[in-house]
Amino acid sequence: MTTPSFHDPRLTEQRNPRTERIDVASSLEIVDLINAEDASVAAVVRRCREAIARAIELVVDAFRNEGRLIYVGAGTSGRLGVLDASECPPTFGSPPEMVVGVIAGGYQALVKPAEGAEDDVNAGMEAMDTARVGLQDIVIGIAASGTTPYVRAALSRAQTIGAVTGLISCSTPPKLLADSCDVVILPEVGPEVLTGSTRMKAGTATKLVLNTITTGAMIRLGKVYGNLMVDLMATSEKLRDRGERIAMECCAVDRARARAAIEQAGGSVKLAIVMVRLGVGKDEARRALDAAGGFVRHAVGDPPPVTEVIRKEDRGNPLGSSGP
């Protein structure tokens, strides 16, 4: 009698020997086990640094050619793509259509499980047509297991159209899929704490990669000044306060002057900084910024250096944090 094989070759589906008794662990032991697994994720992502940098370059090329970055995924992977896309406009002042997240099952799948949608290859292809993917776009598939039918079909359709494609996976994908993509990022974090629960280490690794791709691309486009988010959209009191503080720091002015400059600049923190630093009006500041390719540093010079922040616990200690 032949013993049936239950071994799945996908790394994300294998059992983790370090957590095989987690069901009898105490709450603190569970925390320690999960934390120990999480601690390995950043190092794994770092090993993908060259592939991530390649992805950034491809995304920048797409943006400069008036193309878009389109993420496509199912389940957790899809939700992470939509999350990253939705965070770009308030952070970088980018139009909502610049980075787009496509999830199997549609946007209702963000809040209601639609796990069966990941098997619908026709829907994956149709999603690319609905998104009007074109030659100038880059489509990055996110599939923790590397085998999600919806994602594979979407990438295949995007490639047929002629778009640049990429794949993020935490398990070795089929060779044909990997070979057909322009960039492949494989943070292979190993078996999950709970077998197959890719919302854990795989999800964390994916979030780190997505953060780096979009942040890196926006930096390369001149949407930051030093490490300040000067292209942010002031859509809330918190963001308005942040924008004013950025202008105050960069221009060495008080809040009233910073607020007035931002208002004169039509709400643009970046433009307000150029106006105040160069002592010019809005139109001239816009011309200076355009001539600098959108980079504030090239238009007005270096930002002020970072001043050391004294922690609350160091106040009153004349030696600061280096004291006994």
Give the DSSP H/E element, type plus range, for residue 100: strand 99-103
Around Cβ 58, how many Cβ atoms within 10 Å? 21
Identify the three-state secondary structure at position 184. strand
CB 274 within 8 A of CB 300: yes
Instruction: Give helix 201-220 / helix 75-92 axis angle, nearest 10°.
Output: 30
Q: Which of 252, 76, 302, 280 is nearest to 168 (CA)?
A: 76
Dihedral in degrees, nearest 10, Cα atoms 12, 13, 18, 20:
150
13 part of the active site? no
**Residue corresponding to tokens 């990253």:** 84
87 part of the active site? yes
**Residue corresponding to tokens 């793509």:** 81
Identify the bridge partners of residue 225 per DSSP, sorted by sequence position: 228
Residues 6 or more apart whose CB falls under 8 angstroms from that of 275 comprise 261, 264, 265, 281, 282, 285
Q: Which DSSP string do the residues of 71-85 spell out, in sequence order?
A: EEESHHHHHHHHHHH
The residue from 57, 66, 118, 126 that is catalytic is 118
The residue from 87, 126, 188, 249 that is catalytic is 87
Q: Which of 15, 30, 116, 124 is nearest to 70 (CA)?
A: 124
280 by Cβ neighbours in 10 Å (0-12 / 13-18 / 19+) ranks as middle
Whole-angstrom distance, CA of residue 191 vs CA of residue 248: 48
Catalytic positions, written as ranges: 87, 118
